[in-house]
C-alpha cells in the first residue's frame, strides 16, 4: 500500500510525521532516505527505531541520515555503496558533498551469476511498428538524406547545401523526413592515420550507413587529415558509390553548394521510394541515455525505462546503454548479468581504460556528477551510476561495443562512450541505434538526428514546467503509479514514435547541432 503523502509547510518545523510520508527509504540496508519534499529543520521523523529530528533544511531529492555513521564508514543507497563519510554523521543530518565522498571500492564482479534466460514473447504475439526496411536488412524509424562533412572546414558548406532543402523544397517527397547536415569540430589537427582519425571515420560511416538514412553525400575541404578517399575506403563504403565533393576541387564554397544541391536532388527519388511497412518490434535498437539527472532519476524514470527495456528484449529487440563514466562504481551490477566471461571482461577493460584516460588528463571520474546533478541531490559518481544502470533493466548483458562500433548482438548491450550526452548519443546512434530514450530530472531539450529522441521526466514538477519538451512523466511513480505501468507507457511510445509519431524535440527541430563525435586525443 502506498503511504499517505504529507504536504509540509514552512511552519512544520516542530511537527512529527511518519518517515514514509515525507521520504523514500529504498533498501533496508540504506543509512539514508530520500526526501520527497523539502524537510525543514526541527521536523521529527517517526521511524521503527524511534524519532529522528531533522538537523538542517534538506531539499527535495536530497538524503537524510537515518542512523549514526562514523567518519570513514561506507554509506548505502539501493543497498549499494555510494561513498564514504568524510565526517561523523548523526541521525537527521543532511548527507551530501559536505560529509560524503568517493573512496576505494572493492567489488565482487561475480560474473554471470544473475544472468537468467529471457522469457521471450511467442512470435505470433509479438508487437510491430511501421518502419523502413533497408537493403542490408536493418530497419529505419525515419527516412533522411544526410550531408556529411569530413572536417569542420567544410561545415558551413554542408549547412548551406542542407538549407536548400528546407521549407517546401521536399513537398513532392512526403516519405522523406528531411535533409540533415552532419557537421562537427574535428577532421584535422590530429596525426594522419591515428586512432583518433579512425574513430571519427567510423562515426561518420555509422551515420552514412545508418538505417534511418536513405542516402548520403560527403563534403570535404581537400587538405585535411581526414581525407575523404581514406574515409570511404577505410570504412568499406566504396560499394555505396556516394557523391564525394571536395571544396578545393570544385572551385570554392559557392560552387560546392551548387554541386552538392544537385547531388542531393539526385538522391531524393531513391530515398522517396522507401515506404513504411509492418516490421517486428525486434528491429528496434534503442539508445538508453540520461542527462541532467537528479536524485529521482534512479527511483522513477531510469527503472521505468528498465522495465520498457525488458519488454523490448522479450520481443527480440535491442537496447544499448552508454556513458561508461556513469557505469563506474556500478559496473558489478552489469558483470553479474554478463552472458559470458568475455562480455564481462570487455566491460571491465573499458572501465580500466577510463581510469587511465582520466588520470593521464588530470581528471577524476568523480568530476562527474555535474553541478546540476548535485543540486538535484546526487553526491558521488557511485550514487549517480547506480541509478543510471537501472535504465538497462534486468536481462543479460549480451555485448560490449566500442564507440560507434556497429551493434550486432540482440538484447541488452553497452556502447562505450563518455557521460557527456551529445558525444555519448552520437556514438550510440553511429553504432546503429534507430531510437533514443532520454531520461532527465533537471530538464534537457535534447534531440539527436537521425534518431528520434523520447524524453522522460523524473518528476512531475519538471514535467509540468517543461511540458513542451517532455514526452513522458515518470514522476507519477512518486504519486502511486507503478514502475511497470510507466514502463509499458514508454514501450508503447517507442513503437508509436518508431512508426512516425513525432517526439517533442522533433517538433521543435532539435537534433542537428547535437551531433558531436568524440575527440579523444590532442588537437595539434
| 62-114 pLDDT, tens digit each | 999 999 999 999 999 999 999 999 999 999 999 999 999 998 888 899 999 99
Average pLDDT, the chain: 96
Residue 19 has pLDDT above 70, yes or no: yes
pTM of the model as a whole = 0.96
Residue 242's CATH number: 3.40.50
Q: Do 265 and 293 belong together in one domain?
A: no
On whether residue 389 sits in a domain, the answer given is no
- Both 289 and 261 in a single domain? no
CB 266 within 8 A of CB 114: no
CA distance 458 to 127: 27
Q: 153 with 256, same domain?
A: yes
State the residue for C-alpha cell 563525435: 517
User: Does some domain include residue 196?
Assistant: yes
Q: What is the pLDDT of residues 153-175, one digit of tens each?
A: 999 999 999 999 999 999 999 99
The reply to whether 144 and 256 lie within a common domain is yes
Residue 405 included in any domain: no
Cα–Cα distance, 26 to 34 (Å, whole number): 8
Tell me: do 232 and 263 sit in the same domain.
yes
Return the C-alpha cell found at 79: 543497498
Is position 492 within any domain? yes
Q: State the pLDDT confidence band at 365, using cuts at 50, 70 and 90.
A: confident
Same domain flag for 58 and 175: no
132 in a structural domain: no
Share of the chain above pLDDT 70, in %: 97
Helices (H), 50-185: 155-163
Tell me which of 101, 128, 159 is where a domain ends: 101
**Is the domain of 182 the same as that of 83?**
no
Whether residue 460 is predicted with pLDDT greater than 80 in this model: the reply is yes
Residue 158 lies in a domain: yes
Q: How many domains does the chain have?
A: 3
Reported confidence tier of residue 367, pLDDT bands at 50, 70, 90? confident
The predicted pLDDT at position 12 comes to 63
Indicate if the pLDDT at residue 437 is higher than 90.
yes
**Residue with the larger pLDDT of the pair 7 and 343:** 343
- Do 83 and 28 share a structural domain? yes
Q: Supply the angle between the helices 195-208 and 421-430 in degrees, to the nearest 10.
A: 70
191 with 255, same domain: the answer is yes
Q: Are 240 and 218 in contact (CB under 8 A)?
A: no
Contacts of 315 (CB under 8 A, 6+ apart): 120, 121, 126, 127, 280, 281, 282
Compute the distance between CA of residue 186 and CA of residue 520 in angstroms, rounded to an integer.
11
pLDDT in tens, 481-520: 999 999 999 999 999 999 999 999 999 999 999 999 999 9
Residue 408 falls within a domain, yes or no?
no
**Contacting residues for 513 by C-beta, under 8 A, at least 6 apart:** none
Do 144 and 42 lie in one domain? The reply is no
* pLDDT confidence bin for 522, thresholds 50/70/90: confident
Judge if 240 and 316 occupy the same domain.
no
Asked if 442 and 462 touch (Cβ cutoff 8 Å), the reply is yes
44-47 and 50-53 beta bridge pairing = antiparallel
Instruction: Give the end of a domain, one of 53, 78, 101.
Output: 101
The CATH number assigned to the domain holding 79 equals 2.30.130.110
Q: Containing domain of residue 90, as a range?
A: 10-101
Q: What is the pLDDT of residue 508?
A: 97
Domain presence at residue 368: no
CA distance 327 to 243: 40
User: Could you tell me if 462 and 445 are in contact, meaning their C-beta atoms sit under 8 angstroms apart?
Assistant: no
Q: How much is the pLDDT for 458?
A: 98
Sign of CA dihedral 152, 153, 155, 156: positive
Which of helix, strand or coil describes residue 239?
helix
Q: Final residue of a domain: which of 205, 239, 272?
A: 272
In whole angstroms, give the CA distance from residue 379 to residue 34: 12
On whether both 248 and 287 belong to a single domain, the answer is no
Distance in angstroms (rounded) separating the CA atoms of residues 47 and 194: 60
Amino acid at each position: 500500500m502506498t503511504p499517505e503523502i504529507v504536504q509540509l509547510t514552512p511552519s512544520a518545523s516542530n511537527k512529527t510525521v511518519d518517515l514514509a510520508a515525507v521520504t523514500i527509504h529504498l533498501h533496508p540496508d540504506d543509512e539514508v532516505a530520500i526526501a520527497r519534499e523539502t524537510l525543514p529543520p526541527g521536523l521529527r521523523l517517526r521511524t521503527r527505531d524511534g524519532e529522528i529530528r531533522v538537523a538542517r533544511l534538506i531539499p527535495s531529492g536530497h538524503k537524510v541520515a537515518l542512523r549514526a555513521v562514523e567518519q570513514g564508514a561506507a554509506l548505502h543507497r539501493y543497498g549499494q555503496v555510494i561513498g564514504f563519510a568524510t565526517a561523523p554523521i548523526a541521525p537527521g543530518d543532511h548527507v551530501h558533498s559536505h560529509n560524503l565522498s568517493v573512496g576505494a571500492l572493492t567489488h565482487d564482479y561475480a560474473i554471470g551469476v544473475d544472468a537468467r534466460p529471457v522469457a521471450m514473447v511467442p512470435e505470433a504475439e509479438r508487437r510491430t511498428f511501421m518502419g523502413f526496411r533497408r537493403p542490408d536488412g536493418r530497419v529505419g524509424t525515419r527516412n533522411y538524406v544526410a550531408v556529411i562533412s569530413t572536417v569542420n572546414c567544410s561545415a558551413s558548406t554542408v549547412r548551406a547545401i542542407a538549407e536548400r532543402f528546407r521549407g517546401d523544397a521536399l513537398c513532392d517527397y512526403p516519405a522523406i523526413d528531411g535533409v540533415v547536415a552532419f557537421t562537427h569540430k574535428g577532421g584535422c589537427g590530429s596525426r594522419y592515420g591515428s586512432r583518433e582519425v579512425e574513430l571519427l571515420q567510423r562515426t561518420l560511416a555509422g551515420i552514412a550507413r545508418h538505417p534511418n538514412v536513405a542516402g548520403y553525400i560527403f563534403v570535404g575541404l581537400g587538405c585535411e587529415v581526414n581525407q575523404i578517399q581514406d574515409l570511404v575506403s577505410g570504412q568499406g563504403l566504396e560499394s555505396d558509390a556516394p557523391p564525394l565533393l571536395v571544396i578545393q576541387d570544385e572551385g570554392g564554397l559557392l560552387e560546392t553548394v551548387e554541386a552538392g544541391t544537385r547531388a542531393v536532388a539526385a538522391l531524393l527519388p531513391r530515398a522517396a521510394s522507401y515506404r513504411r511497412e509492418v516490421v517486428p518490434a525486434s528491429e528496434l535498437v534503442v539508445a538508453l541515455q540520461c542527462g541532467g539527472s537528479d536524485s529521482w532519476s534512479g527511483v522513477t524514470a531510469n527503472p521505468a525505462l528498465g522495465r520498457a527495456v525488458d519488454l523490448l528484449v522479450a520481443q527480440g529487440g535491442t537496447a544499448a546503454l552508454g556513458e561508461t563514466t556513469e557505469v563506474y562504481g556500478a559496473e558489478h551490477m552489469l558483470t553479474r548479468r554478463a552472458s559470458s566471461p568475455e562480455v564481462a571482461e570487455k566491460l571491465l577493460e573499458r572501465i580500466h581504460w577510463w581510469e587511465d584516460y582520466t588520470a593521464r588528463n588530470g581528471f577524476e571520474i568523480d568530476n562527474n556528477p555535474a553541478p546540476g546533478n548535485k543540486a538535484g541531490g546526487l553526491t558521488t559518481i557511485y550514487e549517480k551510476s547506480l541509478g543510471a544502470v537501472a535504465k538497462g533493466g534486468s536481462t543479460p548483458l549480451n555485448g560490449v561495443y566500442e564507440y560507434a562500433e556497429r551493434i550486432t548482438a540482440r538484447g541488452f548491450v553497452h556502447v562505450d562512450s563518455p557521460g557527456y550526452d551529445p558525444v555519448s548519443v552520437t556514438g550510440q546512434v553511429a553504432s546503429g541505434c534507430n531510437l533514443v530514450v532520454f531520461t532527465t530530472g533537471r530538464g534537457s531539450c535534447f534531440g539527436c538526428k537521425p534518431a528520434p529522441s523520447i524524453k522522460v521526466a523524473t518528476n512531475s514538477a519538471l514535467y509540468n514546467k517543461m511540458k513542451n519538451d517532455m514526452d513522458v512523466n515518470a514522476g507519477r511513480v512518486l504519486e502511486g503509479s507503478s514502475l511497470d505501468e510507466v514502463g509499458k507507457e514508454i514501450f508503447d511510445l517507442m513503437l508509436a514514435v518508431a512508426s512516425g509519431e513525432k517526439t517533442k524535440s522533433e517538433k521543435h527541430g532539435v537534433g542537428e547541432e547535437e551531433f558531436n563525435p568524440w575527440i579523444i586525443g590532442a588537437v595539434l
